[in-house]
Amino acid sequence: EDQVTQSPEALRLQEGESSSLNCSYTVSGLRGLFWYRQDPGKGPEFLFTLYSAGEEKEKERLKATLTKKESFLHITAPKPEDSATYLCAVEDDKLIFGTGTRLQVFP
């Protein structure tokens, strides 16, 4: 059965304290791995798509990497405005989401 597990569930960081979020997955046929950001009461906002192991993508303070079993979202020198829930999803014949990592960045 396709499955996506994200860790940690919650993460509190001081502004400027870099860290990584993990997304482990099992899927029969990976068509893509997606990272989204979701603010409270809002829909997910697209961040990255990764297709193959070894692929990396960057956007501002965020960098996503992919291996055959997991993906990492690295946050470098985070700011309070980076506080949100970060969702990972894999696509086989449909999108399967993890439960997310709730990130709080304090000034």
Partner 1 sequence: GAVVSQHPSRVICKSGTSVKIECRSLDFQATTMFWYRQFPKQSLMLMATSNEGSKATYEQGVEKDKFLINHASLTLSTLTVTSAHPEDSSFYICSAYLTRSTDTQYFGPGTRLTVL
Min dist. Cβ of residue 27 to partner 1 (A): 14
Is residue 80 helix, strand or coil?
helix
Considering only the stretches 12-20, 36-44, 63-71, 75-83, report the one whose residues sit in contact with partner 1 under the rule CB under 8 A: 36-44
Check: CB of residue 74 under 8 Å from CB of residue 58: no
- The residue within the footprint of partner 1, chosen from 29, 41, 54, 107 (CB under 8 A), is 41
If binding is defined by CB under 8 A, does position 49 make contact with partner 1?
yes
Specify burial of residue 40 (Cβ count, 10 A radius: 0-12, 13-18, 19+): exposed
| Cα 57 to the center of its chain, rounded Å | 12
Positions touching partner 1 (CB under 8 A) are 4, 31-32, 34, 36, 41-46, 49, 87, 89, 91, 94-95, 97-100
